[in-house]
Amino acid sequence: MKTTAVIFDAPLSAAFVEEELAEPGPGEVTVEAILTQISTGTEMICYRGVADEGTHWAPFMHYPRHNGYCMLGRVTKVGEGVEEVTVGDRVCATAAHVSHYNVTMKQLWAAPVPDGVSDEDAVWAILGVITQTGVRMAEHVMGDRAVIIGLGPLGQLVTQYLRAMGLREVMVIDRSGGRVQVALEHGANAGFAGDIADAKAFVEELTAGELADVVYDVTGHPAVLPQALPLARDHGTLLMLGDCPVPSQQCLTYDVVSRQVRIVGTRSSWLPDAHRRWTPQRQTDLLFSYLQRGDMRLADLISHRFTPQQGAEAYDLLYTRREEPLGVVFDWTQEESGG
């Protein structure tokens, strides 16, 4: 059958193309996309095409390439041996920006999506697992104070998770005043709009000089690490949720040795043995529980909606006006009309 896709055909270039899709094999299902969400950090790294050699990013820098991994869709075909889902079920899948895709059950992180969760909430599920994994790695305890640096989609999710957990202080920092305001409306206690280098007095005031128990760097920008470390308290934690493509440009500060601030890295759904039972599927179930109870809300974080044919326009917006968009989705229900 024919399928369509938004791909990167070269660095700084996106295209809408038609492709062939085989029938689903044993253990696979075909999913027809409803919405796919742009992972603005990961995908813009691949769009720019710049990464250090030897990093896990380096193999991604080839073109043409499929991109994206956040799909909400509906099952249209079921392969041999699949019993967990049926045709018509809404599912969340780790699939690229394509109209139809064959996935295994392991790639379905919500199967099926509960009726009480809207499409616009459900499409956040994959990013919701990535950020929930990061929050688990921080190993918060009652009374913790946290700082979140970078309020794109991931930073906004972390903000809401920490509020749902009941942290004592959820402080947010971003250059964009608009993004700070969104975070304040979704659970943050206090916000700082400006350069992180100027934010230490803000954190000190809210913590009586003790600084933060956990600082989240959700930017992936190499310049942020040395500016973020001084915001953590003695023996505190700096959690790197933003994955930098050029780690050769990152540097440590005296805080790591002299104040024993620990650095914890987190990526995707990879959890250590102590948290292994929290599979992507279980984390997605928890996210949906929070959404259904009203403890979190995500649909209103979608700031831009494009048709797949507008892929070049979507990525150009993210490249040229980075701080303007927040949640960005492709609406595949509008593919045929282009409207």
- In this prediction, residues 243-267 reach a mean pLDDT of 94
- How confident is residue 257, by pLDDT bands cut at 50, 70 and 90? very high
Split at pLDDT 50, 70, 90, the class of 338 is very low
- What is the pTM for the complete model shown? 0.95
CATH of domain 131-271: 3.40.50.720
pLDDT at 87 over 50: yes
3-state secondary structure of 336: coil
pLDDT at site 274: 87
3-state secondary structure of 104: strand
CA-CA-CA-CA torsion sign (320, 51, 124, 1): positive
pLDDT value of position 336: 56
Amino acid code (one letter) for 233 = R
Left (φ > 0), alpha (ψ -120 to 50) or beta: where does 254 sit? alpha
Cα dist from 296 to 156, 157, 165, 285, 299, whole Å: 11, 9, 11, 13, 10
Domain segments of the chain as ranges: 2-124+298-334, 131-271
Task: Give DSSP secondary structure letters for 217-257.
Answer: E-S--TTTHHHHGGGEEEEEEEEE-S--S-GGG----THHH
Architecture of the 2-124+298-334 domain: Alpha-Beta Complex (3.90)
Three-class DSSP category at 109 = strand
Q: How far is CA 147 from the centre of its chain?
A: 18
| 123-143 pLDDT tens trace | 999 999 999 999 999 999 999
Reported as a pLDDT band with limits 50, 70 and 90, residue 111 is confident
- 174-184 pLDDT, tens per residue? 999 999 999 99
